């Protein structure tokens, strides 16, 4: 799988492993809980980000820009289903929520980076 990380309006090609700094956006407003509708009932606990690719959200007070250091991410191709990976991961680790995050950390992961078929990043989760 080839993944492209967008930095400074240029796509940087990476492979299954990425180590480095990434500029991300975090919505500081707490998300509403929808249970299994978005996989929130099983998803790992952590800080959820998106990769910052433009400045169009800077005008909103609830979006904050951060730089994160990524050392050993679990990179997941989400294909066209942005929820199924959460259930697949929960099933594989026989855990959900904080317990799932703890098991992923025990396996050495510090982040989860979801990637679409076109190589662009989706959710980025700091464990």
Question: What pLDDT score does 101 carry?
Answer: 97
76: its two tokens: 């997941």
Question: What pLDDT score does 46 carry?
Answer: 96
The residue ranges of every structural domain in the chain are 3-126
Question: What pLDDT score does 2 carry?
Answer: 44
**43-59 pLDDT, tens digit each:** 999 999 998 877 777 78
How far out from the chain centre does Cα 45 lie? Answer: 11
C-alpha span between 35 and 43 (Å, rounded): 10
**27-37 pLDDT, tens digit each:** 999 889 998 98
Q: Which residues of the chain have pLDDT under 50?
A: 1-3
* DSSP reduced 3-state for 64: strand
Backbone phi, psi, residue 66, to 5°: -135, 155
Question: What pLDDT score does 1 carry?
Answer: 38
> Kind and range of the H or E element at 113?
strand 111-116
């Amino acid at each position: 799988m080839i993944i492209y990380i967008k930095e400074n309006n240029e796509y940087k090609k990476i492979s299954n492993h990425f180590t480095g700094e990434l500029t991300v956006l975090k919505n500081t407003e707490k998300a509403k809980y929808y249970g299994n509708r978005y996989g929130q009932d099983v998803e790992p606990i952590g800080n959820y980000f998106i990769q910052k690719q433009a400045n169009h959200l800077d005008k909103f007070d609830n979006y904050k820009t951060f730089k994160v250091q990524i050392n050993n991410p679990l990179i997941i191709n989400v294909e066209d289903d942005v929820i199924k990976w959460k259930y697949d991961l929960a099933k594989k680790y026989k855990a959900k929520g904080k317990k799932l995050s703890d098991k992923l950390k025990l396996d050495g992961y510090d982040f989860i980076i979801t990637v679409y078929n076109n190589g662009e990043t989706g959710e980025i989760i700091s464990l």
